[in-house]
Structure 1
Amino acid sequence: MLTKVNVKWKEDAVSHFMTELIDYAGLFPPAALSLTEAIKNYHSYIHGPNSWMLGPFVLPASRLGELEPFREQFNDQYPLRLSVILNNSWKFEADLMDAQHFLETYKNAGCIEAIEVPLPSQVDFACLEELDKQIACYRIFCEITGTNEQLLAKLDLIQKINKISSRSFGIKYRMGGITSNMFPSEKQAAFVIHETKQRGLALKFTAGLHHPIRQYRKEVETFMHGFVNVFTASIMVYCRSVNKATIQEILLDENSTNFSFTTDTLSWRNLIVSSSEINHARNFFAASYGSCSFDEPREELGELAIFHGEGVR
């Protein structure tokens, strides 16, 4: 398991790669925990030595009203940080009222860091303008689906709204699920990563990224994308402007030895980025990913022989 082991850790490449990488989505399949169990886990994680890898708790807006009993478990030093998924009916008034009630109840012991919005198949600029007006206080990530043509249309709309919005809308893209048909091909994923970067949009992922390196999994009867593959590809496209073919190669790579961390670099084959470049890419492009497990990804990453130099044990 990865742990901080010296005062220079904050400058290490793997630290910049992993900092707040995993948004905890324990309520969602395949874990599908109860809210009590998921909150208990999150409370444990934020008090643990690996809390620096943890992002916000992912919660459907419809369940914001259930958080009041857990208020005393959090405080201003260890708050309940949320990424809230709005309903997909495009009527957000009740969701936003519940969000305000959560903030008033938790005060400094809780915050909403992002709003996630599933975009409908038919969405236009007026819809995004209204969304921008209604949700003025939060960072927004729009989940996009559809054919390449539909994806491009949505990316163009979001790029357009960012030109007039006071904050930047980002993209959320689904990398898997509980059945094989929910996993995008490497070609589809590479297309989204490349086109999102081309438009200067931030990108976060969700689902299917339990394992660091791409591998075939019997439980879903397909190949699951690796989060090291996905974020290495995203960082390389941001820092090195690699093309879609190279992104696909990185996503398809099942050989963990092709990926390497030193104290100051991340490399895939002959492509290398520095620690500071990783940090920049993570801050402005490759945001995070939602996972129903916080332990499994970290533990499997720690078992790989891809680390060279001090900082990891």
Structure 2
Amino acid sequence: MSTTPVIPPLFQGLFDDAAVFPPGNLPVADAVPAHRAHRTAWYADAVGPLLCGAGRLGELAAAAQGAGPAAAQAPAPALRVGLVLPGGSSELGPALAAAAPFEVAGVELATRDAREAVAALDLLLPADVPAAVELPRELLRGDGLDEVLDVLVDSPYRAKFRTGGIVAGAFPDERELAGFLTGCAQRGLPYKCTAGLHHAVRHTDPVTGFEHHGFLNVLLAAQETDPAAAAEVLAERSGEVLAKAVQALSDRQVTVIRNSFTAFGTCSIAEPLEDLAALGLLSPDPKPQEDR
């Protein structure tokens, strides 16, 4: 008997739990037990850490303590947390101290100065904790993108790119996103994305009218080094076309893609899983399959 992985390698650890961030805005007291449930569900291998902003770590600690098992039971594992620092390097030291009750799975540092952010991370971040550096999109236009990526490629840290938000202007078009993806691919620089990628396929939101990128589009575009080719993949709106392209990926291609595109934050864990199941790319049935 051999067991086929419930979560294919292409999707393992892809979905960071951003439940407490917009537009989900789940209360922290609810997000903690929900995340613990994700970590013990059949799809656990797809789920990354629970993301939490620097200003809410005290609230998170209280919720984690309150959500623990009864004293007579074995203690729950430490909560895996990704620290999101929108206030820049000044938040790094205090946030790491406040995160002592947790297993820190990563740091995401927003900044306007990549060199300063790298210096702060080098100084304060434990060597075994990964980090991603995010700059405002307006600083990544023109020569700014190359300058920032060149700084990060000489560091141990990933890039981070915002692919959506709560206003239309927060969503980059295909050309802008393709420029970031291929700039990273040309340098061998890993990255994560955040916001707007809840669904697998590029689409227009029927309520807001916002143009959302699909996470399958981004995964497939991650192997491209040519901006025009990447933009074409990002523009694809057929789930059938994207699903067939995913099914045709070799093991080597999957490795290349996930070494580049490491994760994205989503306020819903259910939605991306439902999309993958609907496209025939994921089965919620974890039964072992007999060798043939």
Say yes or no: does 1:7 pair with 2:7: no
Higher normalized strand content (fraction of residues): 1
- In 2: Cα distance, 1:47 partner to 1:67 partner: 19
Q: What secondary structure does 2:274 align onto?
A: helix
Call closer, same or farther: CA 1:90–1:100 in 2, change over 3 Å: closer
Counterpart check, 1:289 vs 2:272: no
CA distance in 1, matches of 2:60, 2:232: 43
> Structure 1's 311 and 33: CA in aligned 2 closer, same or farther, altered over 3 A?
closer
Q: Secondary structure at the match of 2:150?
A: helix
1:49 alignment partner, one of 7, 17, 42:
42
Partner deviation per Cα, 1:228-263 (whole Å, 9 max, x = no partner): 1111111x22xxxx41111111110011121236xx
Q: 1:275 is matched with which residue?
A: 251
**Paired amino acid for 2:93:** L
State which of 244, 249, 260 in structure 1 corresponds to 2:243. Answer: 260
Q: Is the 8 A contact 2:68 2:76 kept in 1?
A: no
Within the alignment, does 1:228 sit opposite 2:203 as a pair? no
Deviations 1:249-306 (A, max 9, x none): 1110011121236xxx835xxxx53134313531x21100000000011112211256
Other-structure match for 2:124: 134
Counterpart contact for 2:243–2:279, Cα < 8 Å: no
Q: How does 1:143-154 map to 2 (within 5 A)?
A: 143-144=134-135, 145-146=137-138, 147-154=141-148
Percent of counterpart pairs with the same letter?
24
4+ aligned runs moved over 4 Å, structure 1: 74-78, 305-308
| Equivalent of residue 234 in structure 2, options 217, 229, 251 | 251
Paired with 2:153 and 2:95, the residues of 1 have a C-alpha distance of 29
Shift of 1:200: 1.9
1:15 aligned partner, one-letter code: P
> Does the CA contact (< 8 Å) of 2:83 and 2:106 recur in 1?
yes
For 1:117, which of 101, 109, 125 is the aligned residue?
109
2: CA distance, partners of 1:76 / 1:205: 33
* Structure 2 residue aligned with 1:62: 55
Q: Which amino acid aligns with 2:270?
A: D
The alpha carbon displacement at 1:116 in A equals: 0.4
Counterpart in 2 of 1:83? 82
Give the TM-score normalised by structure 2. Answer: 0.85
Residue of structure 2 in register with 1:211 after alignment: 199
Aligned positions of 1:163-242 closer than 5 A: 168-234=156-222, 236-237=223-224, 242=225
* CA gap 1:276/1:66 in 2 versus in 1, 3 angstroms: same
TM-superposed deviation, 1:170: 0.3
C-alpha separation between the residues in 1 aligned to 2:8 and 2:171?
A: 28
Structure 1 gaps of 5+ residues are: 1-5, 163-167
**TM-score with structure 1 length normalisation?**
0.79
The structure 2 residue matched to 1:73, chosen from 59, 68, 71, is: 68
RMSD: 2.6
Q: Are the equivalent residues in 1 in contact too, given 2:117–2:133 (CA < 8 A)?
A: no
